[in-house]
Amino acid sequence: MAFTLIDQQTFLQPATAVTQYIGCPSGCDYFVSTNLTQMATTNATGRVVRGEWYGGGLFADNDGLRWTKTNSTSGINIDNFSTTTASNGFTYVPIFPAPQAALTGTTITNASPAVATVTNTYSEGDQVIIYNAVGMQQISGMSFTISSVSSSGFTLLGLNTPGSAATAFTVRKVAPVMPVLPQTYQITGITQASQGVVTVSQVHSYVVGQCVEFSIPASCGMVQLNNFNQPQSKPPIITAVTAYTFTINVNTTGYTAFALPASTLSPTAQLFPTVAPQGQNASYNPITGVQTGYNFLQVPFHSGLFIPYMILPAGLLSPGGSGGDRIVVDIYKMERGTLNSPVPS
């Protein structure tokens, strides 16, 4: 039996293209991406208009077949994503967790936000884990969402002036979210304010009305936020959110200042400060007519990641395409198994 088209999906890249994660409900033996936007253009720099991936171990991670238009024409060249000039290709992920190969970086600035220098092929919005951060060990093992990504580095919008700079570090790209949501996040900052503002290292999925619990080691200060120090042990409630921060209904003005511990305290200092979901406290006031929101998509515990999935990195020469591109993906399955394996994948 030939390949059977199992599923077909489409997505529109936002203005700043991001890595796309395509769930494969029945697995995948053959995957095709077609960039409808670039198919209709003839750009001077050439673009990927179609990508193909075969299962069964025929391609390494981050590879596949790359169909590119010749500069300023509709002539087609076909090679691998790994061919010079290399670009990001397909990665099929059937399990969790799946940290990708480690990269060695040179510096992370002690700035707001922190900027990491490392030769990479990552995309906007990717999740990474940084470890062995020499001079900034207080973040070693912490997960981050990256932004302003270039081939030489990226920005950590969830890390503001951690106290010292790193002179070397190692980084791995990991899955976009945890298998179950809402998930736990690592805290990098909490303000002293009438309603404390918490900064986490990743773009979070918390919503207004959600309750949270804090786990803050003494080495980070502000232990008053730990549940057993809160009046009646009531969980704080989120009152406002941004991508990396959320505001809680707790007056932290008089609390001990929060600060990540010094790098020199590693590995003996207790790490990390974390925040975990603790239900929600949505309400409706019939007098004022004010509804404190409830989000059926975010608040209930649910699967966060459909496994297996295919990673389509963003980029002019990658299957995820660039900003504003409309892309269609076809997911095929072969019932007899893959081309070089008799066992169905």
Binding site for another protein (CB under 8 A): 96-97, 99, 102, 129, 131-132, 137, 140-141, 170, 172, 174, 178-184, 211, 213, 215, 217, 227-228, 231-235, 266-272, 274-282, 296, 299-304, 335
Torsion of CA 113, 119, 123, 127, to 10 degrees: -60
Residue placing its CB nearer to another protein in the complex, 68 or 107: 107
Q: Residue 36 belongs to what H/E stretch?
A: helix 36-39
What minimum distance in Å lies between the beta carbon of 102 and another protein? Answer: 6
Longest dimension (CA), the chain: 70
What minimum distance in Å lies between the beta carbon of 241 and another protein? Answer: 18
281 closest CA partner among 247, 238, 226, 230: 238
Task: Report how far residue 310's alpha carbon sits from residue 20's, in angstroms, rounded to the nearest whole number.
Answer: 8
Q: Which two tokens stand for residue 140?
A: 């070693």
Task: Report how far residue 50's alpha carbon sits from residue 38's, in angstroms, rounded to the nearest whole number.
Answer: 9
Contact between residue 170 and residue 130 where contact means Cβ atoms under 8 Å apart? yes
Contact between residue 234 and residue 228 where contact means Cβ atoms under 8 Å apart? no
Q: Which residues pair with 328 in a beta bridge?
A: 10, 34
Residue placing its CB nearer to another protein in the complex, 71 or 270: 270
Residue placing its CB nearer to another protein in the complex, 18 or 181: 181
Residue placing its CB nearer to another protein in the complex, 136 or 312: 136
What minimum distance in Å lies between the beta carbon of 210 and another protein? Answer: 10
What minimum distance in Å lies between the beta carbon of 170 and another protein? Answer: 6
Which SS3 state, helix, strand or coil, does residue 37 take? helix
What minimum distance in Å lies between the beta carbon of 133 and another protein? Answer: 8
What minimum distance in Å lies between the beta carbon of 100 and another protein? Answer: 10
- Residues contacting residue 91 through CB under 8 Å, at least 6 positions apart: 61, 62, 100, 310, 311
